[in-house]
Amino acid sequence: MRLISDATWKTGDPGLQFHDLINEMNCCKSDECVATNPCAEYLAQNETSCNLSSVNLMKFYDQEKGIFMIDDFVHVCWIMSTAMDVWIDEASYPTEKIEKATKTFRTIGLGYTNLGSLIMSAGWAYDSDAAREAASAITSLMTAIAYRRSTNHCSFLPPFSKWEENKKSMIEVLKTHLSSSKEIEKIHSTHKL
């Protein structure tokens, strides 16, 4: 363990993963998560893929008013989630196995950039409670938007093909996210994000 830790500290590789915790938060427990891509922003079932897309957080921060424009952020995340889901069917894949698994689970890689700039612009220390709470709230909100968009999408198209066998685990993970997202209003009023 010490050798792995030292190598990770010196080079960034190999990445160290905690299998039990990763699979505790696995939304699709029909298939185990055993690895990530090298940067670990994509963690999902074997032989799947997703396109990554990032929303620039600074586009939603009004520096004059010192506020994060939540409604605009929600709108952009909604549109991006929709576009990324459509792209699953239009993309090309390196193997038929990856194409089939990707279309089975329909994962998207919605993320954000410029968190550090947002934290500095808000006047918070990088490792402050306010900065950590803001990062947590933004991440939770983005995740909730993507899941909500997916639910809305299923009102006129069928859900991903392994939905029924993963319904329970998906709901358990979403409940965890819900408890985090309830902090958004508190953070918004306390730290003027």
The owner of tokens 């929600």 is 74
Q: Which of 24, 32, 41, 165 is catalytic?
A: 41
CA distance 48 to 73: 28
Q: Which runs of consecutive H residues, i.e. helices, occur in the chain? A: 2-11, 19-24, 70-90, 96-105, 115-121, 129-153, 163-181, 183-191
**Is the pLDDT at 181 greater than 80, yes or no?**
no
Mean pLDDT calculated for residue range 145-167: 89
What is the pLDDT, as a whole number, of residue 117? 98
Asked whether the predicted pLDDT for residue 188 surpasses 60, the reply is no
DSSP state of 127: T
- pTM here is 0.79
pLDDT > 90: what percent of the chain?
51
- CA separation for the pair 2, 19 (Å, rounded): 18
List, for residues 19-44, the tens digit of each pLDDT value: 898 888 888 999 998 888 777 778 88
pLDDT tens-place string over residues 50-107: 888 999 999 999 999 999 999 999 999 999 999 999 999 999 999 999 999 999 999 9
* Size (the chain), residues: 193
Confidence of residue 154 (pLDDT cuts 50, 70, 90): confident
Q: Which residue in 23, 24, 27, 37 is the catalytic one? A: 37
Query: Which has more confidence, 93 or 46?
Result: 93
User: Does 63 or 156 have the greater pLDDT score?
Assistant: 63
Q: Is 46 a catalytic residue?
A: no
pLDDT tens digit sequence for 15-24: 778 889 888 8
Dump the DSSP string for 49-79.
Answer: ---EEEEEGGGGEETTTTEE-HHHHHHHHHH
β partners of residue 62: 67
pLDDT of 190 higher than 80: no
Cβ atoms 49, 97 nearer than 8 A: no
What pLDDT is attached to residue 6? Answer: 84
pLDDT digits (tens, 9 = 90+) for 98-133: 999 999 999 999 999 999 999 999 999 989 999 998
Q: Which residue has the tokens 């670990």?
A: 40
Concerning whether 41 is annotated as a catalytic residue, the answer is: yes
Question: Which of 24, 26, 32, 39 is flagged as catalytic?
Answer: 39
